[in-house]
Structure 1
Amino acid sequence: MKISITQKEYARLLELAYMGMWVATSREEDFDDAHPGRYEAVYQMLLRNAPNMGCADLVNGDPDSGGAMAESEELENGRAGELIEKFENDCFWDELCDRLAERDLERELSREPPSKGMPHDEKFTHEMDRVDALSARYRDEFVKHDLDNVIVLFGSDRLS
């Protein structure tokens, strides 16, 4: 199969491949040694062909040497890098807000369990609405004050 692709499209393909490899390898300790290898050969093929496609500025290395190619700083710090950074930041805040909200809901439910006669789907909907409300409250706080008002208590200082 042959695909006709422009220089601009190839550059975008390299950005997509870079972001995909970042996802696949950013938490290597979570995978066995073979995991990144599943994608590495295809990624290397794209990097090796970059100079022929007018995208030499996006890679480092000599495609004719047979050695591994690497992405350039321009690729790492360009649009793909910006998207990864934004994604990481958004994930951090979303996870923090949601986990705190779920923790708070568990505490609320341990103090005041829902009535036994409440239908399961109604209980579920109520709990999800409460998590959403608590998460939004944390989100508003973090938008206004970042982490300035966060205090972590360790050991005997821990609240339960």
Structure 2
Amino acid sequence: MKKIISIELSDDQCEKLIASIYMAGWITTAHLEDDESGPFNDLEQTILEQFTRQGLTEHTVLNEATGGYSFTEKASEEFDKILEEYDDVTFWEELSTRLAERDVNLMKLSGSEKAEKIMLLADKYDLELEKNGLKNVFIKNKQ
């Protein structure tokens, strides 16, 4: 059974919805091959179509050749900046945490000791990475 919902959105909510749809699409398809569509593609197309039909074309455009809808170049650039900021923060947080987990896993510690040591070591790595970036990160050559 297909449920149809209708909601009224303010201009600000429309902006946030379209940004959310872009980011959900990016997150669910970034790892796929170029010709694969993600699990949210149908939803994305439905929302982009509605935005375009309602004249909200600042962020959406109809591709006449394919009949599909996409984000304007301006919208893509705007939303990509948000994703780049997220990626940058996530990279550094993940790096310090994963380095700490790697090092702590070499120690013989109990579960609670392990979790506490990971947090302490991750904080230490955070400080080092904030100060020096990747300058002091090396990969040992075992050859």
Q: TM-score, normalised by structure 2?
A: 0.82
**Counterpart contact for 1:7–1:53, Cα < 8 Å:** no
Q: Distance in 1 between matches of 2:13 and 2:111?
A: 46
Secondary structure of the 2:58 match is helix
Distance, in Å, in 2 between the alignment partners of 1:124 and 1:155 is 30
**Residue deviations 1:71-102 (CA, integer Å, cap 9, x gap):** 11222222x32321122112211211111111
| Equivalent residue for 1:16, pick from 14, 17, 20 | 20
Structure 2 residue 60 is the aligned partner of structure 1 residue 59: yes
Kept in 1, the 8 Å contact 2:52–2:62? The answer is: no
In structure 1, C-alpha distance between the alignment counterparts of 2:95 and 2:115, rounded to whole Å: 16
Residue 89 of structure 2 aligns to a residue in which SS?
A: helix
- Give 1 or 2: higher helix fraction: 1
Deviates more, 1:67-76 or 1:138-147: 67-76
How many aligned residue pairs are there? Answer: 137
Q: Following TM superposition, by how much is the alpha carbon of 1:137 offset from its aligned partner in structure 2, in angstroms?
A: 0.8
The residue identity in structure 1 corresponding to 2:99 is: L
For 1:136, the aligned partner's letter is: D
Moved over 3 A (4+): none
Q: In structure 1, what is the Cα distance between the partners aligned to 2:86 and 2:47?
A: 24
Distance 1:66 1:106, change over 3 A: closer
Q: Which runs of 5+ in 2 are unaligned?
A: none
Show the counterpart of 2:103: 104
Aligned twin of 1:68: 68
Structure number with bigger Rg: 1
Q: TM-score, normalised by structure 1?
A: 0.74
Identical columns (%) = 22
Tell me: higher relative CO, structure 1 or 2? Use CA pairs within 8 A at least 6 residues apart: 1
2:83 counterpart residue number: 84
Letter in 1 for 2:59: L
Q: 1:96, 1:48 → 2: CA distance?
A: 40
- CA RMSD in angstroms comes to 2.2
Amino acid at match of 1:137: K
